[in-house]
Structure 1
Amino acid sequence: MGVLTSGWLWLLHVVLRTPRQAYLHANSTLQFWWADTLRRGAEKLFRLNFVIESENALAGPAAIVLPRHTSIGDTILPVSFYAKAKQLRVSYVLKRELLLDPCLDIVGNRLANVFLNRVAEDMGPELAELEALAASATDQDSLVIYMEGTRFSSTKRRRVLKLLADKGDDEALHRAEAWPNLLPIRPAGALALMKGAPDKDLLFLAHSGFEGSANFANLFNGSWMNTTVHLRFWRIKAADIPAAEHDRRALLFSQWDLMQQAVAEMLAAESD
C-alpha cells in the first residue's frame, strides 16, 4: 500500500507539476499515515495500550530525538507521539540495510533522511552527512537517531560485553554493565547532529512494553498481546548543552544512565 501510494504521489507531482515543497509535504503526510496505521493496527490486533508520561517535555521547539531501541515496533513512537502530534517534520538516521524495504527506499530517500553505512572503513563522510542534515534543519524539523545502533536484546548485550572485555576497555565495560536493559551508545552520530544544529534541544525517549520482540518472528508469539507500552520523555534545552565535545559526550552517557533508570522503573511497575 505504501509503495502504491508513493507511486501515486510521484505521478501527481510529474503530471501536475506540483511545487517541490508540496510534494515533500505529501510524502511527510504519508509518513505520518504509515506510523498511525501501524499504531492503530497494533492497538486493535494486539490490544496494545499506550501511556505517555511527562508529556510536558513534548512542548518546545523541534528537537533531536534520542530513543532507546528494543523492537521494530518502537520505530513509530517518535512519529506518532511527537512529530505528528506537534505537526513537525521528522528526519531519521537509519542503517543502510533498511533500504532493502521498497517503501523505505522510495519515500525515505525523498525526505531528508540519512541511511548510514555502519561498517564503512572511514566514518568521516557518514558523520559529515549527519552534520549537514542537522545544519539544514529548520525549527520545524525534528531529527531522530538511535544511539544504540541496533535493537536491544540480551544476546547482543552479552556479545558487546564480551567484546569490550576482550579489548580491555575497562571504562566502556563498566558503563555497559550499568545498563542491563540497554546497549552501550555510539555517541558519534548524535554528536554530529548536535554540532550541525547547536540550537536544537535534546529529547530523550524511554519506553517499556516492547521487550522480547526484536524481530518479526516475535510478532507472532503472542508477546505483544494485551501489553501496555509506557513512554517517558524528557528534554535537555540547547542552552544547557555544553559546548565542548568531551562534555557533550559525558552528557550523553549521563542521560543514558537516566534512560536505564527510567526503563528499570517502568519494568518494575509492570511486574507489580
Structure 2
Amino acid sequence: MRLPPPWVRRGILAPLVVLLALLVVVLLPAWLTIALIVSVFVEPRLRTPRLLLMVAVYLLWDASAVVVLFALWVASGFGWRIHSPRFRQAHYRFVARMLGVLFWNAHWILRLEIDVRVPEGFHDDERPRVIASRHAGPGDSFILIHAVLNWFDRSPRIILKDTMQWDPAVDVVLNRLPNRFIAPPPVAGEAGRPRRRGPRRDRIRPAVPLTARIADLAADMGRRDALVIFPEGGNFTPARRARAIERLRTAGLAAAAERAARLMNVMAPRPAGLFAALDAAPDADVFLVAHTGLDRIRTVGDVWRELPTDKTITMQVWNVPRTEIPDEHDARSDWLMAEWERIDRWIGSRGSPA
C-alpha cells in the first residue's frame, strides 16, 4: 500500500489516533470485562484480555506521543527551532522515556524480559558507533532502539523502511531526528519495466542513491551517536531467505550463494548500505547484534499462539575493531558474511528453530 503524503499522515491520521485512544479509554472497562469472561470459559491463559490491554496501551502510548510532539513543535516556535541541538536532545530524551514506558508495560502485561549482553568496556568510550543487527520477529527494531537509548546511552540514527511512517508518532519523531527511510523496490509493470512510484517531481529529478543517503547520515556523527542498520533488509522468513540466496545466484556470486544457503537462522546480508556507513565514518566503532526470543513469531496467528509471551529476549552484542575490517570490497564482503555466520551459529546454539 502506497504511503500517503505527510499532510494526510499528520493532519488526518494523527488526530484520528488521538480520538481512537480516547474512545478506547471510555470503552476499555466494558471490553476487558467481556474479554475476561470469555477467557475464563474458553482459554485459561487470559490471552484475550492481555492482547486487548496491550493494544489499548499502545494506542494510548501513541496518542500521548503525538500530543507531546505537537507541544514540542509549538515550544520550538512552531517548528522554527525544531532541528536545533537543544530540541534534538529533547526529542531523544522523550523517545527514551516513551520506550521505557512501553517496555515496562510489556514486561507486566506480556511477561516479557530483555537480557542484553555486551562486551567488557562497552560503556567506557566516547566514539561514534555503527550498529548492525539481525532482523527477526515483531518489534525487534523497537527493542534495539530502546537498548541503544536507555542502556547503551547513545543517540541512534536509524535506517528503516518507510512503511513505519504509517504510525503517526513514529512518523513525526523520526522525521525530526537524523534518520533515513527506505522505500520499497519498484513494482514490475505489465511490460516488465519498473512501475514509477511517487509524485511527478520524482520522475523528473533523479533520486539520491540510498548508499549516498546512508553515507551522509553517518558522516557527521558525534561522539555519542550510533547509526543503526539492518543489513538483511527485512525480518527473517524462509521465503525471504530463499530469495536472498537466489539473488546471489542470479548475480553470479555462486560461492556467496553457497555460504548463504548454509545460514539457517539469518539471511545473507546486503553489504552496500553498511559499507557506505563504514566508509563515511572511518573512526566509528563497529558492533554486531544477535538476538533470540522472537524467532517463532512471524504472523498474527503466531502472536496469538504465543500469548502471554513468557519470553526472554536475549540480545548479544559483539565489538569488531576497525583494524580487523578490510578496506577492499571483496575482502570486506567475506568479512561480513563470516560475521553473519557467527550470528547464525550463536542463534543455533541458543536452541532457536532453523
TM range (shorter): 0.7 to 0.9
Q: Which residue, out of 241, 260, 264, partners 1:180?
A: 264
Matched, 1:267 2:351: yes
Q: TM-score, normalised by structure 2?
A: 0.69
Residue correspondence of structure 1 range 84-163 to structure 2 within 5 A: 84-119=150-185, 125-161=209-245
Structure 1 residues 212, 236: CA separation in 2 closer, same or farther (over 3 Å shift)? same
- Higher mean Cα deviation, 219-228 or 156-165? 156-165
Residue correspondence of structure 1 range 210-221 to structure 2 within 5 A: 210-215=294-299, 218-221=302-305
Q: Secondary structure of 1:56's partner? A: coil
Shift of 1:65: 0.6
Percent identity (aligned): 23
Match of 2:99? Answer: 35
Shift of 1:162: 5.2
Shift of 1:201: 1.2
The residue type paired with residue 97 of structure 2 is: W
Q: Secondary structure of 2:242's partner? A: helix
Matched, 1:189 2:273: yes
Cα distance in 2 for partners of 1:108, 1:230 equals 26
Q: Which residue, out of 113, 122, 125, partners 1:49?
A: 113
Shift of 1:166: 6.7
Match of 1:72? Answer: 138
The residue type paired with residue 249 of structure 1 is: S
- Higher mean Cα deviation, 182-191 or 244-253? 244-253
Which runs of 5 or more structure 1 residues have no equivalent in the other structure? none
Cα distance in 1 for partners of 2:75, 2:287 equals 36
User: Which gives a bigger RCO, structure 1 or 2 (Cα 8 Å, sep 6+)?
Assistant: 1
Q: Secondary structure of 2:267's partner? A: coil
Give the number of equivalent residue pairs. Answer: 269
Offset from partner CA, 1:163-194 (integer Å, 9 cap, x none): 55677653232122111101111111100100
Cα distance in 1 for partners of 2:89, 2:169 equals 17
- Higher mean Cα deviation, 141-150 or 241-250? 241-250
Which runs of 5 or more structure 2 residues have no equivalent in the other structure? 1-63, 187-193, 195-205
Counterpart contact for 1:57–1:235, Cα < 8 Å: no
Shift of 1:217: 5.6
Q: TM-score, normalised by structure 1?
A: 0.88
Match of 1:202? Answer: 286
- Higher mean Cα deviation, 230-239 or 118-127? 118-127
Cα distance in 1 for partners of 2:65, 2:301 equals 22
Structure 1 residues 16, 124: CA separation in 2 closer, same or farther (over 3 Å shift)? closer
Structure 1 residues 199, 94: CA separation in 2 closer, same or farther (over 3 Å shift)? same
Structure 1 residues 50, 90: CA separation in 2 closer, same or farther (over 3 Å shift)? same
Q: Secondary structure of 1:221's partner? A: helix
**Computing the radius of gyration over CA atoms, which structure comes out larger, 1 or 2?**
2
Counterpart contact for 1:96–1:117, Cα < 8 Å: yes
Cα distance in 1 for partners of 2:253, 2:182 equals 25
- Higher mean Cα deviation, 199-208 or 171-180? 171-180
- Higher mean Cα deviation, 57-66 or 89-98? 57-66
Offset from partner CA, 1:52-90 (integer Å, 9 cap, x none): 234426333331111111022211233232332232211
Match of 1:9? Answer: 72
- Higher mean Cα deviation, 112-121 or 181-190? 112-121
Cα distance in 2 for partners of 1:210, 1:123 equals 35
Cα distance in 2 for partners of 1:258, 1:57 equals 21
Shift of 1:116: 1.7
- Higher mean Cα deviation, 118-127 or 208-217? 118-127
The residue type paired with residue 186 of structure 1 is: R
Shift of 1:35: 2.3
Cα distance in 1 for partners of 2:208, 2:240 equals 26
Counterpart contact for 2:297–2:306, Cα < 8 Å: no
The residue type paired with residue 24 of structure 1 is: R
Structure 1 residues 123, 27: CA separation in 2 closer, same or farther (over 3 Å shift)? same
The residue type paired with residue 336 of structure 2 is: L
Cα distance in 1 for partners of 2:208, 2:74 equals 37
**Alignment RMSD (CA, Å):** 2.6
Offset from partner CA, 1:9-39 (integer Å, 9 cap, x none): 1111116976821111111112212322232
Structure 1 residues 167, 6: CA separation in 2 closer, same or farther (over 3 Å shift)? same
